[in-house]
């Protein structure tokens, strides 16, 4: 286990910064990739956003005040980069949100990196029907195993609201999981 304060000093010092940043990439690249991937859906988009995330992390490290953990701070950057990407793409495409969700689901189903079973695919279909904020909260808690406090710091929403949203989403998923008809690649 690394001492975070010491590690942050290494990351912000001119002497050991490159080596420390390589270690940071090694520690967090995969976790942040999957966090981003759940938001932007496709592998190609996730790679682009991940690269932008680490560029922003690298440039912002000297301003990191350690008010939250390094992990939470980077998740917040990844989350914001993902939202910027989605906003930019949605403005560029100017299509209805239902069409975007169908398109994302189609991309997910046809993506060679998506290894799913029927339950996972049903879960993804239910998640696509949720409002964006509820989907993000659920994914951060369920898939990323973040604490409610970490999620509060990442998305700037009160912890009690996050808990309520998460548990309501869980109930919604449990209620609807068996009722969902699976899309096939030709239907989506």
Give me the architecture of the 1-94 domain, per CATH. Orthogonal Bundle (1.10)
Q: Give the Å distances, CA to CA, from 97 to 8, 94, 103, 178.
A: 40, 9, 10, 25
- Dihedral (Cα; 82, 87, 90, 94), 10-degree rounding: 180
- On average, the pLDDT of the chain sits at 84
pLDDT-wise least confident of 26-30, 43-47, 116-120? 116-120
pLDDT given at position 163: 97
Q: How many CB atoms lie within 10 A of CB 87?
A: 10
Residue 176 has pLDDT above 90, yes or no: no
Residue 128 near residue 105 (C-beta atoms within 8 A) = yes
pLDDT given at position 91: 64
What's this model's pTM, rounded to 2 decimal places? Answer: 0.77
Instruction: Tell me which of 33 and 105 has the higher pLDDT.
Output: 33
Residue 157 has pLDDT above 60, yes or no: yes
Residue 92 has pLDDT above 90, yes or no: no
The secondary structure of 156-173 as a DSSP string is T--HHHHHHHHHHHHHHH
Residue 128 near residue 104 (C-beta atoms within 8 A) = yes
Residue 121 near residue 109 (C-beta atoms within 8 A) = yes
pLDDT given at position 59: 95
Extents of the domains making up the chain: 1-94, 102-188
Instruction: Tell me which of 173 and 97 has the higher pLDDT.
Output: 173
Name the token pair of 53.
């995330």
Question: Which residues contact residue 129 at a Cβ distance below 8 angstroms, ignoring those fewer than 6 apart?
Answer: 101
User: Residue 17, Cα to own-chain centre: how many angstroms?
Assistant: 26
Question: Which residues contact residue 180 at a Cβ distance below 8 angstroms, ignoring those fewer than 6 apart?
Answer: 122, 125, 126
Residue 107 has pLDDT above 50, yes or no: yes
Give me the architecture of the 102-188 domain, per CATH. Orthogonal Bundle (1.10)
């Amino acid at each position: 286990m690394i001492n975070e304060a010491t590690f942050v000093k290494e990351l912000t010092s001119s002497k050991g910064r490159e080596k420390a940043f390589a270690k940071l990439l090694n520690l967090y690249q995969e976790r942040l990739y999957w966090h981003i991937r759940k938001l932007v859906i496709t592998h190609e988009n996730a790679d682009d956003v991940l690269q932008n995330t680490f560029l922003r992390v690298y440039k912002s490290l000297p301003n990191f005040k350690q008010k939250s953990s390094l992990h939470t701070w980077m998740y917040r950057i990844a989350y914001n980069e993902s939202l910027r990407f989605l906003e930019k793409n949605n403005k560029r495409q100017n299509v209805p949100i239902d069409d975007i969700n169908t398109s994302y689901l189609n991309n997910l189903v046809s993506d060679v990196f998506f290894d799913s079973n029927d339950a996972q695919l049903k879960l993804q279909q239910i998640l696509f029907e949720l409002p964006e904020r509820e989907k993000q909260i659920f994914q951060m808690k369920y898939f990323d195993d973040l604490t409610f406090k970490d999620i509060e710091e990442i998305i700037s929403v009160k912890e009690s609201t996050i808990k309520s949203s998460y548990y309501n989403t869980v109930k919604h998923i449990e209620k609807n999981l068996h009722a969902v008809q699976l899309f096939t690649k030709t239907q989506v």
